[in-house]
Structure 1
Amino acid sequence: MTLTTLLKASSAIVLLSAIAANAQATHPETGETLAEVQSFTYRVLDEHSSVDPQVVEDVTGAEVVRDLFEGLMNQNAQGELIPGVATGFEVSDDGLTYTFTLRDNARWSNGDPVLASDFVYAWKRAVDPALASEYAWFMELMSIENAAAIIAGEMDKDDLGVTAPDDSTFVVTLSQPLPYFAQMTTHSTTFPVHPATIEAHGDAWTRPENIVSNGAYILQEHVPQERLVRVRNEMYWDNENTIIDEVTALVINDVNQSLTRYLAGELDRTEVPPGQFQRLSAEYPDQAISIPRLCSYYYNFNLSEGGPEAFQDVRVRQAMNLAVNRDVIVNNVLGAGQTAAYNFTPVRTADFTLPDLPIAAMTQEDRNAMAVTLITEAGYGIGGEPLSIELLYNTDEAHRNIAVALGQMWQQTLGIQTTLANQEWQTFLQTRGNQNFEMARGAWCGDYNEASTFLDLVTTNSGYNDAKYSNAEVDQLMAAAKTAEDPQPNYTRVEQIIAEEVPIIPIYHYADGYMFNPTLKGWPVDNVEQNWYSRELYFVASE
């Protein structure tokens, strides 16, 4: 090749490169022109509990884990099951054996293949008493053979009903059929981990410099109480269809500050401060959105031996439940589409029918009148023995506003005095979990879309039964529901018992008010579980 020809060829390459650099890509399915920068930054209220799949116990932590790791099955934008590491599964005729086939191109971020034995290792780790996972009980709920006995320390973890006949086959044996078992495999507790990394680094294995993961992203940076950054995992089996390059979660405790930073262009998503959704939706109709969620907000009574004596009287609990004006909370305190809750399980739960509860049909005036009668009969309230209660919640303006409202309602109607106590998230979880409280805020978002994910929480042995409530009929009903052809009658009866005995006070069912960057697309607004994956998101070019 002559020098002239070489120069011409080089010039052509440069020209083509320049054209390619200036041409913006389009979304492969929608044809939308993509933004040149694909970086998603969002606000979280608190530092997450962990990025270890078998340890994480909070919603925001699970959001991170879903990016870093991938389980057997995923969810699509409507919440339906789609393949993850597994391309699919088969179920035996008796419903006791699930056989998952793993894809052959799934890789860990260090290049190792994802093996069926990695799932075996992770699931045994989840039930191992040595790990003491707060979510070990979830594996028992999955009805995995011997899980309950292993968690109780009665059997060895190697007796768990999981095997890997070969590198691409993962077999699970159940103790009883469970119709929604496959749905439960989208939960972070069931995600695989890289055995060699854990064995090499112990508790430090989740640090950015050590972690090996198999999801669409890897952990690049973590500054506790400040930010967590994850970037594209080039080894992910579907990396070529991932568009977002970088995801940053910023810890911002003050929701008003986060709104200010959002409006300044520093955030692509933030929660709407309580009481401001209507104003913001009018000012920013293309950015403010209310998303119904499969979550319930409630307050726990401490019914353990160390709890207040007054709470042992069901009439006190009933009176306090009746005196809560839920309409004031959802319409005036929050105002972003939340709905008043008189039962625990959200109405949006699949195949669930709301129970017919007397309290829901009453006027607030009648509820208050009945509440006064009950508290008086119990010997407390106005004219009776003084009753003072501390309300514990994790730091957040909305939680504080709700606690203030509850305190005012109970004081005005029942003469009960309340004091407020707030703690940062990690401390709050420990305090509540150890029953070092009188009344404590609770919230639960479904781990899968079925009523048992809520109602199992009030069974005696539930890991998140923070009220320490125990009712033999509830335990029997929930156990029977797992194999019932139609579990709805069981669920209805459990809801009736909760309404009668009031171990918890349901306050509202969630709808989250958010501000979204209008160029951000792909958010699964129709998935009531709000299990979102950054790999499904993308930014379009501004018009």
Structure 2
Amino acid sequence: MKKKIVSAMLIAAMATSMFAGCGSSASSNSTTGTASTEASTEGSVSTSDGSTLRINLASEPDKLDPALNTTVDGAALAANSFVGLFTFDKDSNPVPALVSDYTVSDDGLTYTFTLKDGLKWSDGSDLTAADFEYSWKRAADPQTAADYSYLFDVFAKDGDTINVKADGNTLTAVLAAPCPYFLQLCAFPVFMPVPQAAVEAANADGTNPGAWCAEAGFVSNGAYVCTSWKHNESMVYEKNPYFYDADNVKVEKLEFMLSADDTATFSAYNAGDLDFIDSIPSDEVASVINNADFHVDDQLGNYYIAFNVNDKMFDGMSAEDAATLRHALGILIDRGYIAENIGQTGQKVATAFVPDGMSDGNGGIFREDDYDYPDADSHGYYTAEYDFDAAKAEATELLESIGYKFNDDGTLSDENPISVEYLINENTAHQAIAEAIQSDWSSIGVDVTIKTEEWDTFLNDRKAGAFSIAREGWIADYDDPINMLEIFTSDSGNNDAQLGKNPENSATPDWTAYDNLISEIRTTTDNTARVQMLHQAEDMLMDTWAAVPIYFYNDDYMCKTNVTGIYNTKFGTKYFMYATIE
């Protein structure tokens, strides 16, 4: 899931001030760094009366329809206002929510779910298995234009629709092949139910599928209902008395400050106006890193940069030469410097795209599988060791191999300049990483312009391919490598690199084999072969150099010490419904 990274990285005193800070998230247990478990200083306490929790996750959410959301902050809002058949517990395991019982056929293809009795929407109307049939088919329907519609490719087809059927209080789903992560999907936002009558009433002509929840007051079925929404300013969510587990929800109200200004939210936190912030200004982390209210949690994700493979910078090139250009720029990023000196909360240099600690879907850990990368010795990319001068020499050699000429001082000749625009969303953290990359690339004379956009504009421009190079982040939606790899299929709404999106362009790689491989991974019944195919797919992606991993995430945030019960999954979703304020 796309990460709106406004949580900041520590900036200690550094020799080069231009490399000051970066945004973040990855795995405190699986990495080592300065965000340690050493003795903490005393944190601050909430001044709330116990009925209201005051939160900042991010700025204005892009979409609140769980079928249309693609961001981590949006997933947190969905998880606290909607709930599916399953939910994630504090250990990131899927556990039954609206399900009283379920069975799986011996061949692993048919799931039969029995819903709990007496389930209600927030308006008091009945919630039934038919709501799930409608919602899943809606999300899978191309007319809905859900970026996550490809997740429904795991289903067998019943004619032109996915094979899911409701019968009274029972929902039956038939899959095309055994899916080791299907119950995790059942806890993911795009599989949450939406109210058919409200959705269709607000979208009579079919042109705006998310219109039904564009303002406060929309019907939901989770722990809280959105009762107030001052756009770009604040949101209020109040307890839903019809929530299936309402008796265990103690905090009556969630108040969200909508802002990407981490300096302002940090000030509000210190003033006692916020109890939880998901972002810390880069230059403040050093002052709070040992506080009891500062946290660094495990996370499965990857901070990376994406090249738009259809961008004009590759015009006239072959697909191989375009990949060589990306290769040269990709290795000329000192990712270790970014992780260690800008990150400093335990981020680990990303040696490939699938993050450390992710399962392989066959009882093992993907990164620990006995599998050799074809470029295992490639300088400074697949390995954590890095020598900038050697990388610079290699980048120069790669560019010369495709016709670029250099001056005696090692910079690009005026005959063949390279000028690129690097796109980020508003945040000082992303700015710092962009400046670090800008400095690295300028060492060979590449001219880099940093362009900053508001979050919603940024998301839409990336999706439309209206960029040359952009900062990216992907937090896993479930614990299986295919989630990191299927986002790059040619039909994926999350494929910002535009791989396979314009097959007529001679500068872009032929992506048919990748699409077919992902399809085979989804349908194979041989889990051992599946693991090997997943590694093969990652190799194919890495060979394009269209997605250049920087580091694996962890997740840092601040929470008042007398607020307990909030939990955060390794997928980056915060669950507030079981919070208590002492």
Deviation at 1:275, TM superposition (A): 5.2
- Give unmatched runs, 5+ long, in structure 1: 1-33, 148-154
In the alignment, is residue 404 of structure 1 matched against residue 440 of structure 2? no
Question: Structure 1 residues 353, 54: CA separation in 2 closer, same or farther (over 3 Å shift)?
Answer: closer
Task: Give the whole-Å Cα distance in 1 for the aligned partners of 2:350 and 2:123.
Answer: 47
Percent identity, please.
28
Question: Structure 1 residues 316, 260: CA separation in 2 closer, same or farther (over 3 Å shift)?
Answer: same
In the alignment, is residue 469 of structure 1 matched against residue 492 of structure 2? no
User: Of the candidates 278, 284, 290, which is equivalent to residue 296 of structure 2?
Assistant: 290
Residue type of the alignment partner of 1:199: E
Q: Computing the radius of gyration over CA atoms, which structure comes out larger, 1 or 2? A: 1
Structure 1 segment 18-37 matched on structure 2, within 5 A:
36-37=49-50
Aligned to 1:50: 63
Question: Structure 1 residues 375, 204: CA separation in 2 closer, same or farther (over 3 Å shift)?
Answer: closer
Task: Give the whole-Å Cα distance in 2 for the aligned partners of 1:307 and 1:409.
Answer: 19
Larger helix fraction of residues: 1
Q: Pick which of 429-438 and 476-485 moved more.
A: 476-485
In the alignment, is residue 274 of structure 1 matched against residue 307 of structure 2? no
Secondary structure in 2 matching 1:360: coil
In the alignment, is residue 137 of structure 1 matched against residue 150 of structure 2? yes
Residue type of the alignment partner of 2:574: W
Aligned to 2:251: 244
In the alignment, is residue 176 of structure 1 matched against residue 177 of structure 2? yes
In the alignment, is residue 538 of structure 1 matched against residue 564 of structure 2? no
Residue type of the alignment partner of 2:579: L
Deviation at 1:305, TM superposition (A): 6.1
Task: Give the whole-Å Cα distance in 1 for the aligned partners of 2:98 and 2:243.
Answer: 10
Task: Give the whole-Å Cα distance in 2 for the aligned partners of 1:139 and 1:370.
Answer: 43
Matched-pair contact (CA < 8 Å) for 1:302–1:308: no
Structure 1 segment 46-125 matched on structure 2, within 5 A:
46-125=59-138
In the alignment, is residue 376 of structure 1 matched against residue 400 of structure 2? yes
Structure 1 segment 151-162 matched on structure 2, within 5 A:
156=160, 159-162=161-164
Aligned to 2:157: 146
Task: Give the whole-Å Cα distance in 1 for the aligned partners of 2:186 and 2:564.
Answer: 26
- Give unmatched runs, 5+ long, in structure 2: 1-46, 204-209, 501-510
Task: Give the whole-Å Cα distance in 2 for the aligned partners of 1:297 and 1:481.
Answer: 25
User: Of the candidates 212, 229, 235, which is equivalent to residue 228 of structure 1?
Assistant: 235
Matched-pair contact (CA < 8 Å) for 2:308–2:469: yes
Question: Structure 1 residues 462, 199: CA separation in 2 closer, same or farther (over 3 Å shift)?
Answer: closer
Aligned to 1:516: 559
Deviation at 1:204, TM superposition (A): 4.3
Q: Deviations over 1:504-536 (max 9, x none)?
A: 1111111122121111112335x3113332212
Question: Structure 1 residues 90, 420: CA separation in 2 closer, same or farther (over 3 Å shift)?
Answer: same
Aligned to 1:479: 519
Matched-pair contact (CA < 8 Å) for 2:303–2:553: yes
Secondary structure in 1 matching 2:298: strand
Q: Pick which of 350-359 and 113-122 moved more.
A: 350-359
Q: Deviations over 1:6-44 (max 9, x none)?
A: xxxxxxxxxxxxxxxxxxxxxxxxxxxx98513222213
Aligned to 2:189: 188
User: Of the candidates 358, 379, 382, which is equivalent to residue 360 of structure 1?
Assistant: 382
Deviation at 1:286, TM superposition (A): 0.4
Structure showing greater relative contact order (alpha-carbon pairs closer than 8 Å, 6 or more residues apart): 2
Matched-pair contact (CA < 8 Å) for 1:75–1:531: no
Aligned to 2:38: none
Question: Structure 1 residues 115, 398: CA separation in 2 closer, same or farther (over 3 Å shift)?
Answer: same
Secondary structure in 1 matching 2:166: strand
User: Of the candidates 165, 184, 191, which is equivalent to residue 163 of structure 1?
Assistant: 165
Question: Structure 1 residues 364, 38: CA separation in 2 closer, same or farther (over 3 Å shift)?
Answer: farther
Aligned to 2:323: 314
Aligned to 2:571: 529
Question: Structure 1 residues 35, 225: CA separation in 2 closer, same or farther (over 3 Å shift)?
Answer: closer
In the alignment, is residue 333 of structure 1 matched against residue 309 of structure 2? no
Deviation at 1:307, TM superposition (A): 5.5
Matched-pair contact (CA < 8 Å) for 1:72–1:185: yes
Task: Give the whole-Å Cα distance in 2 for the aligned partners of 1:307 and 1:120.
Answer: 45
Deviation at 1:96, TM superposition (A): 1.7
Matched-pair contact (CA < 8 Å) for 1:41–1:266: yes
Q: Deviations over 1:216-261 (max 9, x none)?
A: 1111111111111101001112111111211122122221221111
Task: Give the whole-Å Cα distance in 1 for the aligned partners of 2:306 and 2:412.
Answer: 26
Question: Structure 1 residues 205, 353: CA separation in 2 closer, same or farther (over 3 Å shift)?
Answer: closer
Secondary structure in 2 matching 1:464: coil
Q: Deviations over 1:80-116 (max 9, x none)?
A: 1111111232111222211111000321111122100
Residue type of the alignment partner of 1:164: A
Secondary structure in 2 matching 1:313: helix
Task: Give the whole-Å Cα distance in 2 for the aligned partners of 1:497 and 1:160.
Answer: 29
Question: So what's the TM-score if we normalise by structure 1?
Answer: 0.85
Question: Structure 1 residues 262, 472: CA separation in 2 closer, same or farther (over 3 Å shift)?
Answer: same
Secondary structure in 1 matching 2:392: helix
Secondary structure in 2 matching 1:101: strand
Matched-pair contact (CA < 8 Å) for 1:315–1:375: yes
| Corresponding residue pairs, total | 491
Q: Pick which of 73-82 and 86-95 moved more.
A: 86-95
Secondary structure in 1 matching 2:268: helix
